[in-house]
Amino acid sequence: MRLSKLLSDAPAAATMQVDGFLDGRALKWGKHKRIKVGKVLRNFHCRTCDTQRTFVSGDELSCLGLGDNQISIDATLQCIECQSSVEIWFLIGSNGDISGVAPEVRIERYTENLRDRADRIDSHRGPFSDLVKRAQLAYENQLGAGSIVYLRKIFELVTFGVAEIAEIETKKNNGNNQPFALVLQQVNEVRNIIPRRFSSDGYQLFRELSNIIHGESSEEEALQKYKPCLQLVLGVVDEVSRDNEYARAIEELGWNVENISEITGGGVA
C-alpha cells in the first residue's frame, strides 16, 4: 500500500505497512525531501462550489525529517472543479526505521488549514459552527481543556440567546450577571432546550464542562470526555430528540441517571 492511502484516510490512527518512500536512506532531522507516494485525496464541502468536492494533492509532497522514527508531511490540495486550495499537515510515526523498504507507519497528528474555503463533510453547520470547529481542532491537537472551553461557550450562548428572546432577566439590580444555574432554570421552564431526563438537573452539563476547565480533570480525562460532551452540547443547539444517543453519551460520562432505560426506550424527553 502506498503512503497516500494512509494520508487520504486521516485521521485514522491504525498502524499500516506501506511501500518505502525514502529510498532506504534516513532523512536527517531538519532536512527536507520531496517524495512521490501517490496523490492524497480528501473530500470536503467546497464553499466556492457550494457542494461536496474531492480535493487532490500534487504528485509530490514535502517531507521533513524528525529522526529515525518520525517525519512531517505538508500537502496542498486543490478542488478538482474550482481549484480552491487548502493545506493539510501530518506527523507520521513508525515503531522501526521509517526509511525502510516497507515501514509500518501511523498518523500521530493531523491538522487542516481550510482557510474558510472548505468545510469537513461531517462538520456541524449553523450559528455555532465556528466554535464547534475550534473545539474540534483543539481536541485533535490534544488540548483537552481547551476544547471544552469552546463547548461551554456554545452552551452559554444558547442559554443566554434563548433568555433574551424570552425576555428573561439575566442581570441583577447591580448590573452583574445572574447565576447561570438560575438563568438556565428559567430558560428551560419557558423553552425546554435540554432533555428533561438526561440528568437529575439541567445544570449538570454546565458543571461537567466547568469542572474540566477549572482543572478538576486531567488532560487525558478531558480528551476522553470531549466527544460525549460535544454530543450533548450539539443536542442542546439542535434540539435533537434522539434520546438513545443522549443516553449513551451520559453513560460515557458516568453521570448518575435514574431510569436511564426510559430514555433509551421512550419518546422525546
DSSP codes of every residue in 190-214: HS--S-TTSSSSTHHHHHHHHHHHT
Residue of 43 and 122 predicted with greater confidence: 43
Cell 421512550 belongs to which residue? 266
The per-residue pLDDT of the chain, averaged, comes to: 80
Rounded average pLDDT over 4-24: 85
Report pLDDT for 204.
Answer: 78
pLDDT (tens digit per residue) in 196-254: 555 445 677 888 888 888 877 888 888 888 888 888 887 777 653 343 454 555 556 66
Report pLDDT for 243.
Answer: 38
Same domain membership, residue 150 and residue 251: yes
Same domain membership, residue 159 and residue 261: yes
Same domain membership, residue 234 and residue 106: no
Residue of 25 and 252 predicted with greater confidence: 25
Same domain membership, residue 134 and residue 114: no
Same domain membership, residue 101 and residue 138: no
The count of structural domains within the chain is 2
From 54-58, 107-111, 186-190, 257-261, the region with the lowest mean pLDDT: 257-261
pLDDT (tens digit per residue) in 31-56: 999 999 999 999 988 989 988 899 99
Report pLDDT for 232.
Answer: 81
Domain ends where: 120, 153, 174?
Answer: 120
Domain range enclosing 207: 129-265
Same domain membership, residue 135 and residue 113: no
Report pLDDT for 72.
Answer: 93
Measured CA distances, 167 to 127, 171, 190, 240, 251 (Å)? 21, 12, 10, 24, 35
